[in-house]
Amino acid sequence: MEDKTIIILRTRQCRRSDLIIKFLQAENIPHVVKSLETDPEAQRLAQKFDLRSSPGIIVNGQVVNPYQMIENCQIKDRVKARQLLEDLLKK
């Protein structure tokens, strides 16, 4: 599942996760959301990629720092955020 996929590892109360997921939905970017609280696969991925905060973003097997896209609980630049994700999916 890690290849050619955007995976969001989230916790229930994470506003940054909500923001990223809403952005992906609004931009019609396919993605998978996994709960760090209830999904053993999400927990395995978090451990494998050494993710210690939510949201964990894995694109095409590479970790994306959410702060490359978020600032003050808003998407910094929608065009650049989309391009970042699309470029990683092409690798």
> Whole-model pTM?
0.87
pLDDT per position as a tens digit, 71-80: 877 898 999 9
Considering the domain boundaries, does residue 1 fall inside one? no
**pLDDT reported for residue 48:** 97
d(CA 44, CA 35): 11
Q: Domain range holding 58? A: 6-90
Considering the domain boundaries, does residue 77 fall inside one? yes
**pLDDT reported for residue 39:** 97
| 28-32, 54-58, 64-68, 70-74: segment of lowest average pLDDT | 70-74
**Domain count of the fold of the chain:** 1
Considering the domain boundaries, does residue 21 fall inside one? yes
Q: What are the tokens at 63? A: 């970790």
Residues 6+ apart with CB under 8 A from 39: none
CATH code for the domain in which residue 54 is found = 3.40.30.10
DSSP readout, 31-88? Answer: -EEEETTT-HHHHHHHHHTT--SS-EEEETTEEE-GGGTEETTEES-HHHHHHHHHHH
d(CA 11, CA 36): 6
